[in-house]
């Protein structure tokens, strides 16, 4: 068992080194990946989000009294998964999201789960996935029953939740924390952490090859602490790290704090 999970967890005092967990959010466009991510980070529901942006956010969390440095990659695959290595090799756990009012997004979530299973088989290294049926507030328009969601999750041996990015924050937070717990269990099992391809202030030595391999044009880093925004609740101590893909870069030239620009915040 890694020392990260030994005594420090029990003490969880100020000296405890935070556990590092990378979480990737996958799913069809419009499933609500960004809305869930933003809800988790800010307690806010944001109704519009640029679908071409792919960002990785960083947040200091406490899960079961243990400090966790959580990085959340809000992926933006085009219609089909592409350049998946950027998250397959990075994440310790996955949230696979579908919108319960879209049969197509449910079918795509199945494809993502298959992709993860295949990757686990090929690498002999499994990462936990949680299946999320989002837009529970739209349940009257559902095209996917809860039983179908549960059955799909059961098929791939993952946890299943129905959630809503625009209902209570606690439920969304619970789901993200469950993902951390799953990742932590897996890390404990293997007693090793996956290599990261970004760090907050400085590039890791292997960043350049990965950048080339995955077509990431550049990485830029921003923190919420540099932004003065009335809407940000005090509880949101999330720092943001923005990693721009080449697609995102082509849409926007200047590095900006994407989360808070041009959104309607309720």
Ligand X SMILES: Nc1nc2c(ncn2[C@@H]2O[C@H](COP(=O)(O)OP(=O)(O)OP(=O)(O)O)[C@@H](O)[C@H]2O)c(=O)[nH]1
Out of 72, 165, 224, 243, which residue is the one contacting ligand X (CB under 6 A)?
Answer: 165
Count interface residues toward ligand X (CB under 6 A).
19
Residue 174 interacts with ligand X (CB under 6 A): yes or no: no
Out of 24, 63, 76, 187, which residue is the one contacting ligand X (CB under 6 A)?
Answer: 76
Closest CA to 129 of 32, 245, 25: 25
Residue whose CB is less far from ligand X, 63 or 132:
132
Residue with tokens 């003065």: 228
Residue 31 interacts with ligand X (CB under 6 A): yes or no: yes
Least distance CB 5 / ligand X (angstroms): 32
Out of 9, 29, 43, 252, which residue is the one contacting ligand X (CB under 6 A)?
Answer: 29
Part of the chain binding ligand X (CB under 6 A), chosen from 28-36, 115-123, 200-208, 249-257: 28-36
Out of 19, 26, 35, 96, which residue is the one contacting ligand X (CB under 6 A)?
Answer: 35
Least distance CB 266 / ligand X (angstroms): 10
Least distance CB 224 / ligand X (angstroms): 19
Contacts of 154 (CB under 8 A, 6+ apart): 160
Closest CA to 79 of 47, 101, 111: 111
Residue 8 interacts with ligand X (CB under 6 A): yes or no: no
> 221-258 as b/e, with b when 16 or more CB fall inside 10 Å?
bbebeeeeeeebeeebebbbbbbbbebbbeeeeeeebb
Distance CA 212, CA 260 (A): 29
46 close to 263: Cβ distance less than 8 angstroms: yes
Residue 259 interacts with ligand X (CB under 6 A): yes or no: no
Four-CA torsion 162, 52, 57, 193, nearest 10 degrees? 80
Using alpha carbons only, how large is the chain's radius of gyration in Å? 18
Residue whose CB is less far from ligand X, 41 or 68:
41
Part of the chain binding ligand X (CB under 6 A), chosen from 32-40, 55-63, 120-128, 232-240: 32-40
Least distance CB 167 / ligand X (angstroms): 7
Part of the chain binding ligand X (CB under 6 A), chosen from 162-170, 179-187, 210-218, 222-230: 162-170
Integer angstrom CA distances of residue 157 from 79, 105, 184: 25, 19, 17
Beta 239-241 vs 55-63: how paired, if at all? antiparallel
Out of 9, 137, 177, 186, which residue is the one contacting ligand X (CB under 6 A)?
Answer: 137
The tokens for 111 are 């494809």
Beta 19-27 vs 129-134: how paired, if at all? unpaired
Using CB under 6 A, list all residues that contact ligand X: 27, 29-35, 47, 49, 51, 76, 134-135, 137-138, 164-166
């Amino acid at each position: 068992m890694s020392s990260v999970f030994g005594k420090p967890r029990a003490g969880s005092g100020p000296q405890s080194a935070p556990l590092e967990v990378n979480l990737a959010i996958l799913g069809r466009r419009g499933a609500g990946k960004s809305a869930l991510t933003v809800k988790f980070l800010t307690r806010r529901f944001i109704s519009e989000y640029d679908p071409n942006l792919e960002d990785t956010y960083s947040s200091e969390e406490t899960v079961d009294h243990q400090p966790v440095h959580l990085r959340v990659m809000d992926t933006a695959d085009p219609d089909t998964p592409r350049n998946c290595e950027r998250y397959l090799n990075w994440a310790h756990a996955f949230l696979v999201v579908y919108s319960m009012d879209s049969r197509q997004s449910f079918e795509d979530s199945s494809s993502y789960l298959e992709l993860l299973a295949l990757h686990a088989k090929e690498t002999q290294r499994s990462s936990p996935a949680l299946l999320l049926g989002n837009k529970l507030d739209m349940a009257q328009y559902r095209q996917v029953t809860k039983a179908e969601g549960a059955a799909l999750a059961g098929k791939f041996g993952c946890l299943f939740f129905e959630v809503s990015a625009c209902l209570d924050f606690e439920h969304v937070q619970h789901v993200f924390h469950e993902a951390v717990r799953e990742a932590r269990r897996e890390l404990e099992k293997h007693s090793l952490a996956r290599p990261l391809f970004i760090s907050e202030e400085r590039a890791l030595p292997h960043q350049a090859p990965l950048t080339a391999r995955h077509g990431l044009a550049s990485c830029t880093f921003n923190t919420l602490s540099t932004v003065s925004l009335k809407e940000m609740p005090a509880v949101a101590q999330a720092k943001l790290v923005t990693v721009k893909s080449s697609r995102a870069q082509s849409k926007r030239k200047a590095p900006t704090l994407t989360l808070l620009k041009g959104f309607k915040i309720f």
